[in-house]
Amino acid sequence: MKNKHKMYVNGEWVDAISGTYYNDMNPFTGEVFAIIPNGGAEDAIKAIDAAAAAFLSWSKVLPHQRRKLMLKAADILESRAKEVADILANEVGATMPFAMFQAFNGPEFLREAASQVHRVSGKILPSEVEGSINMVWRQPVGVVGAISPWNAPLLISLREICFPIA
C-alpha cells in the first residue's frame, strides 16, 4: 500500500470527517504516490476553529521564543531537504533541480522570518497637535486561509505562513 496520510488538526493526526480518501497521482508515472484524506467543508471549519483557539496562545508567545521555533523548523527542514525534494518531485511533478531549489531554499525563508521578530515597524503620521505624533503599527487580527499552488508548493506555502506567524 502507498503512503496513506492524515490531516494535522488541533495537534492531532486525523482522518477526514467523511472517512474518504483520494489517490494523489505521480504526474510522471501515473502511479498512485500517496493516499490523501478527502477533507471537506466540515474539516475546514474544524481546522479554522482550532487555529482560532491557537491564535490566542500563539499571540502571547514572546518574540525570542517564536524566533527559536522558526530557526528549529529551518534546521529540521534543512536536515530533511533531500527527502522533501523527492516528495515534491513525485507529488507535483517538479523536476529534481526545481524540487531541490525549493527544498534547499525553504529553510532560508524560515530564517528570514525568524530575523523579523524583533523588527520594529510601523508608520509615523503627521499630527494636528503640536509636539505630538501619531503612530500606526500592524497587529495580527486572526486566522487566514492559504491554498498552495501546485507549481511551487513549498516555497509559496512558507512565504504565506512563516512571515505572518513570526
Give the pLDDT confidence of 100-110 residue by residue, as tens digits.
999 999 999 99
| Residue 81 shares a structural domain with residue 125 | yes
Which candidate, 3, 10, 47, 46, places its Cα nearest to that of 25?
Answer: 3
Q: Are residues 44 and 70 in the same domain?
A: no
* 14/89 same-domain check: no
Q: What is the mean pLDDT of residues 85-99?
A: 92
Of all residues in the chain, the percent with pLDDT exceeding 90 is 61
Same domain? For 49 and 72 the reply is no
C-alpha cell of 41? Answer: 467543508
Give the E-state strand segments of the chain in sequence order: 3-4, 7-9, 12-14, 21-25, 32-37, 123-125, 134-136
Same domain, 112 and 160: yes
Summarised one tens digit per residue, pLDDT across range 119-165 is 877 788 888 888 888 888 777 778 887 788 878 899 999 988 898 88
Average pLDDT over every residue of 69-80? 97
pLDDT at site 144: 80
pLDDT digits (tens, 9 = 90+) for 46-55: 999 999 999 9
Residue 1 has pLDDT above 70, yes or no: no
Judge if 106 and 143 occupy the same domain.
yes
Domain co-membership, 88 together with 47:
no
Residues 56 and 94 in one domain: no
* Phi, psi angle pair for 135, to nearest 5°: -120, 140
Query: In the prediction, which pLDDT does 21 show?
Result: 97
pLDDT above 70: percentage of residues in the chain:
99
Domain range holding 125? Answer: 62-166
Place of cell 484524506: 37
Mean of the pLDDT values across residues 38-58?
94
> Can you give the CATH number for the domain in which 95 is found?
3.40.605.10
Res 59: pLDDT: 86
Provide the number of structural domains found in the chain. 2
Chain-wide mean pLDDT for the chain?
91
Residues 102 and 31 in one domain: no
